[in-house]
Amino acid sequence: MKERKNSFFGYEESYSYMIKPFTRDKDGVQSTILACEASNYYKAQEKTLVDVLNSLYDEFGYLEDIQENETLPGIEGLAEIKRRVEEFRTQDIKEIEGRKVVKKVDYKDVVQGLPPSNVIKLFLEDGSWVVIRPSGNEPKIKYYKNLWKR
């Protein structure tokens, strides 16, 4: 018999949410009602939702999601992108932004059933991570950072 798991909260990039499982998909109505309820609750305590959010940041920190793209056009740019990705792939990087690197995953090889891809991901000791990859259709190198701020 499969173990039953309860859903607490579901969302997707399109900003839809599922708070309660009485719908089969996410919608904006549930999240709007929940935001109104939360706003009313905290208003009675003379707080705004921003006050509450800032207190959560103070207590737990927050994840800063950063994407940086660098355009390097032409044949020289393509060679530079390739060089940088290979450098990232082959160097023994110990630290990024003062955070110890604890693991490197090179998606050039099959990883967890995913097809090979020219992507390298570094995991940092505090749960943050950094990814580097070339764009698949533009003369760009892309850096993604998810950094915990405390």
Specify the pLDDT at position 33. Answer: 84
pTM: 0.69
Cα–Cα nearest to 81, from 124, 147, 143: 143
What is the per-residue pLDDT across 13-61, written as a single tens digit (0 to 9) for each?
A: 556 666 666 666 666 677 788 889 999 999 999 999 999 999 999 999 9
Question: What tokens appear for 87 in the block?
Answer: 């450098």
Encode the chain in three state secondary structure.
Answer: CCCCCCCCCEECCCCCEECCCCCCCCEHHHHHHHHHHHHHHHHCCCCCHHHHHHHHHHHHCEEEEEEEEEECCHHHHHHHHHHHHHHHHHCCCCEECCEEEEEEEECCCCECCECCCCCEEEEECCCCEEEEEECCCCCEEEEEEEEEEC
From CA 12, how far away is CA 30, in angstroms rounded?
A: 14
| CA trace torsion 96, 101, 106, 111 (10° rounding) | -140
Question: Could you give all domains of the chain from N- to C-terminal order, each with its CATH number?
Answer: 10-60 (no CATH), 62-149 (3.30.310.50)
pLDDT in tens, 74-101: 999 999 999 999 999 999 999 998 999 9
CB within 8 Å of 27: residues ≥ 6 apart: 16, 17, 18
